Amino acid sequence: MVRDSVNDIGSFEEFAIDADGRLRRALVARFGVEVGHDVANDAMAFAWEHRDRVCEAANPLGLLYRVGQSSARRYRRWNRRVELPAEEPFGESQFEPGLAPALAEMRSDHRVAVVLIHGYGWSYADTAAMLDVPVSTVRNWATRGLHKLRQLLKEST
């Protein structure tokens, strides 16, 4: 369940701990490992510096996601390619070898929806709250993203 209100859990510290993991997953899915972690750190620093504003926001998690997106602008100047977590170098991998490169080729909004919903098991409502978009938009992105992912994986085999 998304804890999208600071008052739902009692304290800002508890909210921040819960929000950090969720925010980091979403931003890494959007911008890749290196940039995603950097902008998640920026967003959490913003959260601590502006606790009052975050606590008063209608969707604090969505606000922090947008802060992370804004922070990512400095990385876009260099047109960095999205780098997702690498496969395990040794042993049996539980993932399709072409999954990370295929995800990297997808549109970022489609990739985020697919990773959060099908990779992390988030509900459409939780994903919509994080991205601060309607649930119907998330459904559309996830459907189109899965379709594109299937095409890309079919091409890679």
Tokens coding 55: 């606590």
140 or 76, higher pLDDT = 140
Q: What is the pLDDT of residues 17-73, one digit of tens each?
A: 989 999 999 999 998 888 899 999 999 999 999 998 998 999 999 999 999 999 988
* Contact (CB, 8 A) for 23 and 65: yes
Tokens coding 56: 């008063």
Tokens coding 148: 């594109």
**C-alpha closest to that of 18 among 10, 128, 29, 115:** 10
pTM to 2 decimal places: 0.79
Give the E-state strand segments of 40-136 in sequence order. none
Q: What is the pLDDT of residues 106-118, one digit of tens each?
A: 999 999 999 999 9
Kindly report the length of the chain. 157
Burial status of residue 155 (CB atoms within 10 A of its CB: 0-12, 13-18, 19 or more)? exposed
149 or 75, higher pLDDT = 149
Tokens coding 45: 């620093």
Q: What is the rounded CA–CA span in Å between residue 83 and residue 102?
A: 11
Q: What is the rounded CA–CA span in Å between residue 142 and residue 149?
A: 10
Domains and CATH numbers, the chain: 1-81 (no CATH), 96-157 (1.10.10.10)
